[in-house]
Chains A and B, each alone.
Chain A
Amino acid sequence: MRSGFAQFGAGGLSGAARTGGRWLVPLLFFVSLLSFIGSAAADEWQVNEGAFFAKRSPELLVTTTGDAFVGYYDDHNQIIFRPYQGRPTVLNADATPGRAAGLIMAAAGDHLYAAWREQRKKETRLLLRHSPDKGKTWDEAKVIDTSTGPLTRIRMTADDSGWVYIVWLGERAASDDSSPIVNEQSFVTHGDPHARTYHIYARRSIDHGATWDPTRRLTTGYTESIWPTLIQRGKQAYSFSWSERDGKKFILFTQTPDDGGWQTPAVIREVNDVLILKPYWIGDRLLVLWLNKADKVFSIQGAFSDDSGRQWTPFAVDGNGDLDIANLELASRGQEVFVTFSARTVQRTDPWQQTVYLTRSQDGGATWRKPEVLRHDPYPYTKALYPRIAASDQAVTVVWNDFRDIRGNLYGNLSKDAGNTWLSADLPLDTPGLHNNYLDPFAGAFAQVGEQYFLLAPRYRSDSFAGAVDLILHRFTLPPQAQGNEPQTHTDSGPLPLLRETANRLWQSLLQGDYRAVYPLLDPFCRANLREVDYLASTGRIVYRRFTIKDIKVFGNVARVHVDFAYEIPELVTKQGKFSRPLTHVSAVETWVYVLDRWYKEYRNELGDFAYTRY
Chain B
Amino acid sequence: MKRSAILTALTAAAIPLSVAQADALLFPYVVTSSTVATIISVVNKDPDGELFLNYFTKNSLANTASCTNQLRHDVDSAQNDLVSFEANGSFVGGVASALGGPLFNDPAGDADYGGDNFTMGPISGATRAFLIVDDNDNNGEDLYGEAILLETQGGAAWGYRAYNAASDFGQTGVNFPEFDAVANGGGIASPTNDNLGEVLDDQNNTDTAAVTLLPTDEWETRFFVTPISAGDQRCTDCNAAIKLTRNVSEASTGLFDRDSNPLSGSNTVEVICVSGVSLQELLPTSAQATVAAQGGWGFINVDPGTAGGTSAPAAVVLKLEFNSAQFISPDASNSFVGTVNTAVWLRNRDNTEGVSGL
Contact A291 B286 (CB under 8 A): yes
Chain B, residues 316-358, CB within 8 Å of chain A (1/0): the string is 0000101011111011100101110100000000000000000
Checking B36, B94, B263, B290 against A606 with a beta-carbon cut-off of 8 angstroms, the contacting residue is B36
Chain A, residues 574-611, CB within 8 Å of chain B (1/0): the string is 00111111101010000000000000000001111110
* A31 interface residue (CB < 8 Å to B): no
Contact A607 B341 (CB under 8 A): yes
Closest Cβ–Cβ distance, residue A457 to chain B (whole Å):
13
Complex interface: chain A residues within 8 A of B153 (CB):
538-539, 541-542
Contact B268 A295 (CB under 8 A): yes
Checking A224, A247, A577, A584 against B34 with a beta-carbon cut-off of 8 angstroms, the contacting residue is A584
* A125 interface residue (CB < 8 Å to B): no
Nearest CB in chain A to that of B281: its residue? A348
Closest Cβ–Cβ distance, residue A489 to chain B (whole Å):
30
Checking B98, B260, B265, B326 against A582 with a beta-carbon cut-off of 8 angstroms, the contacting residue is B98
Give A171 to B285 CA distance when docked, in angstroms.
25
Contact A608 B324 (CB under 8 A): yes
Closest Cβ–Cβ distance, residue A52 to chain B (whole Å):
12
Known contacts A273-B265, A326-B289, A354-B285, A171 near B260 by CB under 8 Å: yes
* A612 interface residue (CB < 8 Å to B): yes
Closest Cβ–Cβ distance, residue B301 to chain A (whole Å):
14
Contact B286 A276 (CB under 8 A): yes
Known contacts A275-B265, A529-B325, A539-B153, A324 near B259 by CB under 8 Å: no
Contact B149 A531 (CB under 8 A): no
Closest Cβ–Cβ distance, residue A328 to chain B (whole Å):
9
Contact A465 B330 (CB under 8 A): no
Complex interface: chain B residues within 8 A of A198 (CB):
262
* A510 interface residue (CB < 8 Å to B): no
Contact B104 A242 (CB under 8 A): no
Q: Of residues 251 to 277 in A, which have CB atoms within 8 Å of B's CB atoms? A: 273-276
Interface size for B (C-beta < 8 A) is: 70
Binds A, one of B50-58, B75-83, B199-207, B217-225: B217-225
Closest Cβ–Cβ distance, residue A115 to chain B (whole Å):
15
Closest Cβ–Cβ distance, residue A563 to chain B (whole Å):
13
Q: Of residues 525 to 574 in A, which have CB atoms within 8 Å of B's CB atoms? A: 528-531, 534, 538-539, 541-542, 567
Complex interface: chain A residues within 8 A of B156 (CB):
607
Nearest CB in chain A to that of B341: its residue? A607
Q: Of residues 1 to 57 in B, which have CB atoms within 8 Å of A's CB atoms? A: 31, 33-36
Contact B105 A577 (CB under 8 A): yes
Contact B261 A581 (CB under 8 A): no
* B123 interface residue (CB < 8 Å to A): no
Checking B35, B289, B324 against A441 with a beta-carbon cut-off of 8 angstroms, the contacting residue is B289
Complex interface: chain B residues within 8 A of A180 (CB):
none
Chain B, residues 133-158, CB within 8 Å of chain A (1/0): the string is 00000000000000001111111100
Give A188 to B255 CA distance when docked, in angstroms.
23
Complex interface: chain A residues within 8 A of B97 (CB):
580, 582
Chain B, residues 265-308, CB within 8 Å of chain A (1/0): the string is 10110000000100001001111111001100000000000000
Complex interface: chain B residues within 8 A of A169 (CB):
261
Complex interface: chain B residues within 8 A of A541 (CB):
152-153
Complex interface: chain A residues within 8 A of B341 (CB):
607-608
Nearest CB in chain B to that of A567: its residue? B34
Contact A612 B91 (CB under 8 A): no
* A464 interface residue (CB < 8 Å to B): yes
Known contacts A538-B153, A606-B151, A607-B35, A75 near B220 by CB under 8 Å: no
Give A72 to B15 CA distance when docked, in angstroms.
69
* A151 interface residue (CB < 8 Å to B): yes
* A23 interface residue (CB < 8 Å to B): no
Contact B286 A275 (CB under 8 A): yes
Known contacts A577-B93, A577-B105, A55 near B293 by CB under 8 Å: yes
Q: List 10 tightest A-B contacts by C-beta distance, closest first.
A: A326-B285, A608-B322, A607-B151, A466-B326, A275-B286, A275-B265, A577-B93, A606-B35, A441-B289, A152-B259
- Please list the residues of chain B having a beta carbon within 8 angstroms of any beta carbon in chain A: 31, 33-36, 61, 63, 90-94, 97-98, 103-105, 126, 149-156, 215, 217-218, 220, 222, 251-254, 259-265, 267-268, 276, 281, 284-290, 293-294, 320, 322, 324-328, 330-332, 335, 337-339, 341
In the complex, besides A152-B259, A579-B92, A610-B220, 18 extra interface pairs with C-beta distance below 8 angstroms are A151-B259, A226-B261, A226-B263, A291-B286, A465-B217, A466-B218, A467-B335, A528-B326, A529-B326, A580-B92, A581-B92, A582-B97, A605-B324, A606-B34, A606-B126, A607-B36, A608-B220, A610-B322
* 30 A-B pairs (CB sep. < 8 Å): A53-B330, A55-B294, A75-B332, A152-B259, A152-B261, A153-B261, A273-B254, A273-B264, A275-B265, A275-B286, A293-B284, A326-B285, A344-B285, A441-B289, A466-B335, A529-B324, A534-B338, A538-B155, A577-B91, A605-B151, A606-B126, A607-B31, A607-B150, A607-B154, A607-B156, A608-B220, A608-B222, A608-B324, A608-B341, A612-B325
- Please list the residues of chain A having a beta carbon within 8 angstroms of any beta carbon in chain B: 53-55, 75, 101-102, 117, 151-153, 169, 171, 198, 224, 226-227, 242, 244, 247, 273-276, 291, 293, 295-296, 298, 324-327, 342-344, 346, 348, 354, 385-386, 440-442, 464-468, 528-531, 534, 538-539, 541-542, 567, 576-582, 584, 586, 605-610, 612
